[in-house]
Each structure stands twice: as C-alpha cells, then as structure tokens.
Amino acid sequence: MNILELKNITKKYPGVIALNDVSIDFVKGEAHALVGENGAGKSTLIKSCTGAVIPNEGKIVIEGEEFSSLTPQLSEAHGIGVIYQEFNLVGELSVAENIFLGRAIRKGLVVDKKAMAREAAKIFEQFNIDIDPNELVGNLTVGYQQLVEIAKALSQKARILIMDEPSAPLTSAEAERLYEVVEKLKASGVTIIYISHRMEEIFRLTERITVLRDGQKIDTVKTSETNMDDLVKLMVGRELKETYPERKACISDEVLLDVQNLSGNGVKDISFQIKKGEVLGFAGLIGAGRTETAELLFGAAKKTAGTIQLNGKEVSPKTPRDAIDSGIALVPEDRKGKGALMEMTIRSNTSIAILERISKCFTIDSKEERRLAEEYKQSIRIKTPTIEQKIKNLSGGNQQKVIIARWLASEPELVIFDEPTRGIDVGAKSEIYTLVNALVEDGKSVLMISSEMEEVMGMSDRIIVLCDGKISGSLDRKDFNQETIMNFASQK
C-alpha cells in the first residue's frame, strides 16, 4: 500500500533545475533510502514533502489525497514528520517541553508539565528509550537529543518520518541505538524516508533505494537486489575505481610540524610531528581531544603550555589570522557554524582569507578575485551556475568544497581537515581524497581528523589515537588495525 506518492515533481530556481519530473512511491512500513551526490535534489525533494518548498509542477499524494503543494502545517496534519541534520530543540527546556513545544498540554489556562512528562514517557517506553522527560535537553548527548526529535515527531502522530543524515553526528553506540529505533518504527507501521551517505547503514536498514542525480530520478531498486558498486555507479554516473585513490610515495625526511608538550583547551601534554608530504590521521572517540588540538594549532583556542614549530621556526598563533599567516589552514568540522559565511557569495567565501594579498591600495582586485573563484569552481567541481550564488543555496557537499577552495587559495603548508567528508556523498568524497593526495604530492602536509575508521585508515600514512585529551597510541601504516585503534581510543 502506497502511503505517499510523488508524481512528476519539478522545481526550478534561476539558472538551476533542482528537480526534473521526479516520481517516487513510498510503501507503508518500509524504510526507503534517497541517495545521490550532493546537489542531486534530495533536500529539495524532502522540502517539497514538508511544505518548505513549493514545486513548479507535479502532485503529492498522501494516502490517496492529492495536493499540488503543501504547507508545513498541512504536511504535519497529514502525518509527515522530519528530523533534520540541525536539531530544532531548546536546550533550556525539558525533554517533555521540547516534545510538546507549541502544542503544550494544558489544564485550563495552565501548562500541565506532569501530563506532558507522562505522554513523553509513554513514547519512550514504546521504543525502549531510557530518557527522563524532566531532564533539560541541553544536558543530553547528541544521540539522545536525536531520539527526542524522533519522539517529538511521533507525538504529532507522524506516519511518514523523513530522516536526513540521522547518524552523521553520532558515535557508533548511539548509531546502533538509532538503528534499533528505526526497526521498531517500521514494525509499528511508520514509513521511513532515509537519507544518508553511509552505504553500510542503507543496506542494513532499508527495503528500497531511489537514486537521484542532477535533479532527476535515475532508478528505484530493491536493496536486496543491488550492491554497493552498482549503487555508486548509479549515483555518480561513472565507476569509482578505488574508494581511496593511490598516492605516490612523497613523504620527506624533513619535519614540517613539530608539536611538543602542547596543553590547553582540554588537551594535556601532547607531542607529535608531521613530515612534509605526509597525511597524519587523528583517531579517537568524540570528545577525545582531536578537534581541540586542531583549534590550538589554528589559534582558535589558547594554549597554556608547550611549543609549536613550523619549518623549524617556533610559532604561537593567538588568532586564526596568525595561523593563516604562518601557513596553517583549518577546514572545520562545523562547516555552517565555523566555516561557511552563509549570506556571502561563493566568490567572497573563496577569497576571504586572502583579501590582503589580492588588494591594491586597500581595494580588492575584483578581476583576480573572480579568476580565483572560477578556477577553484572548475578544479574541485563546485556545482553552481555562477560564483555569485550565495553559499547558503548550495548543498552541504558543495559548501564544503567552497571552504576547501578558500584554504587552497591561501597556499598553506599544513592543512587540517576536521571530519572533511561528514555528510558528503561518495563521489564528492573521492574528489576530496584525490585533492588531499594532490596536496601532499605537492610537498604540503595534512592532518586529517575523522570518526570514520575506514577513512582514517584508508587515507593516513600514520595514525595517532587520542583519548581523554591525551595521546593513547600511535601506529604506522603497516600496523593499522581497527581493533587496536579502538582499544587505544577506549584505553582498554
């Protein structure tokens, strides 16, 4: 039984066809994956379902009732809920208050907090979720906050639940809890529309997969009748020969970065070196100190002890500008909060770190600025009709590419990539890996922080493992082993 049908959905923006005559049906109680490269049209499609986007053409059919478009209120009233990558929670309110935000249960004119807590507890009990409804949401881990978002949607009687990159911010244990909840939701008759770039969880959780590419539906396949290679080929329109492209041996004996006894920002007495032409991986669990170390190197946090040497010269960046001037760049984990300047154009985002270099007499050389932005648009395949497009209008993967372009333009000697492929499709991942290889083959050095074990092992020449703000282990490539890394990460 089809609970939701999208018929010939088309959405056009100036210079871009975001969706072109897309038709998909969703069956009650199934998990149906939407996959495709960044910019394929996935976000536009789900926003059409939630009323955030009005299609130019096509129909949306919910349990036989036909609509040319929806509003957020109409979508919710017909049982469509959505869990976005960025949660819509208020940290200062309790779990129950967040679940019933805007729909508070009242006793007369007074908000009945006890009744809301009881109703929240019923939802949690149904899915074996151990959360205190009276706890402040701000005190919960990211994984539990996500479960609160799911409970909020279920309290609104959601029969169709859209999950957009739900496992991206989660630890392995939290992801396992999420998978259990998804299976229980399916068993209760809820339809899951599941968007993820993690192939392993798509094959684990879903019954069918729809592939989008460049705003068009390429195919819908049964999960049990396809494999990862065929799916990737459908997504990118080409065969990716290797997940992790081979790299020429390019590590020099010369040390580029020498860090000794570095402390501060939750990090304690860390020492390590990175050679020219080397990719050093940082592994560890969330909160281990990987990002915190990167912030110290980039001048985004204050060090309390230790030394940092770059090319044999001591540097002590107190601000990111100091680090940039020294030859250090950071592609941050939080691309929207700390990377992209959302209201500015691709051109401005690309040039922001080098304005002094491309200015004459306090005036930006606009011709050079445009040349650089166009050059990186082509070389790293940023999907956009124009560099004058605001970065907020790009997909997450293309936003990440613009941030990378910014730092490449600054011509750094050390590039720190913090979770560089989080929320990015397989095609864009391959392009970023190729870009990393090109950097080190050119004599630059890379510090790569990643929570994806395969990625950190596939891309690194050496791996340092952190735990509780300290280095707990170090491995050369020949000794890479997932179990050993996890033992170091958890100090077993």
pLDDT reported for residue 200: 87
Domain assignment of residue 121, given as a range? 2-236
437 shares a domain with 402: yes
Residue 247 belongs to a domain: no
Q: Which helix (H) or strand (E) holds 375?
A: helix 366-379
125 shares a domain with 267: no
Residue 76 belongs to a domain: yes
Residue 317 belongs to a domain: yes
Residue 107 belongs to a domain: yes
442 shares a domain with 394: yes
Last residue of a domain, one of 203, 236, 269: 236
CB 296 within 8 A of CB 479: no
Q: How far apart are CA 77 and CA 234, in angstroms?
A: 35
Instruction: Return the residue matching tokens 């279920």.
Output: 154
Q: How many domains does the chain have?
A: 2
pLDDT reported for residue 323: 93
CB 446 within 8 A of CB 278: yes
278 shares a domain with 155: no
305 shares a domain with 214: no
pLDDT reported for residue 242: 58
360 shares a domain with 231: no
Last residue of a domain, one of 201, 236, 271: 236
Q: Which two tokens stand for residue 49?
A: 């379902």
- Selection from 421, 180, 132, 419 nearest residue 286 by Cα: 419
33 shares a domain with 134: yes
Q: Express the helix, strand and coil content of the chain in percent, nearest 5 each.
A: 35, 30, 35
Residue 241 belongs to a domain: no
Instruction: Return the residue matching tokens 């750094």.
Output: 412
212 shares a domain with 285: no
464 shares a domain with 373: yes
pLDDT reported for residue 336: 65
Strands (E), 197-250: 208-213, 216-222
Q: Which two tokens stand for residue 307?
A: 């030394």
CB 291 within 8 A of CB 282: no
pLDDT reported for residue 240: 57
Q: How far apart are CA 453 and CA 368, in angstroms?
A: 40
Residue 203 belongs to a domain: yes
Residue 271 belongs to a domain: yes
339 shares a domain with 193: no
Last residue of a domain, one of 236, 265, 292: 236
Q: What is the pLDDT of residues 278-287, one digit of tens each?
A: 999 999 877 7
pLDDT reported for residue 5: 96
Q: Which two tokens stand for residue 446?
A: 């890379």
CB 344 within 8 A of CB 355: no
Q: How far apart are CA 256 and CA 277, in angstroms?
A: 9
**Digitized pLDDT (tens) for each residue of the chain, 492 residues in all:** 899 999 999 999 877 788 999 999 999 999 999 998 767 889 899 999 999 999 999 999 999 999 999 999 999 999 999 988 777 889 899 999 999 988 888 988 899 999 999 999 998 888 888 899 999 998 988 778 888 988 888 888 899 999 988 887 777 777 888 898 899 999 999 999 999 878 889 999 999 999 998 899 999 999 999 998 888 788 877 665 557 888 888 899 999 999 999 999 999 999 999 999 999 999 987 778 999 999 999 999 999 999 999 999 999 999 998 998 999 999 887 666 677 777 889 898 888 877 777 887 778 888 888 888 888 888 777 888 888 888 888 877 788 888 888 888 888 899 999 988 876 767 778 888 988 998 999 899 999 999 888 889 999 999 999 998 999 999 999 999 888 887 888 764
Residues, the chain: 492
Residue 354 belongs to a domain: yes
CB 285 within 8 A of CB 467: yes
166 shares a domain with 95: yes
218 shares a domain with 270: no
In this structure, what CATH number is given to the domain that contains residue 466? 3.40.50.300
φ/ψ of 113, rounded to 5, equals -65, -35
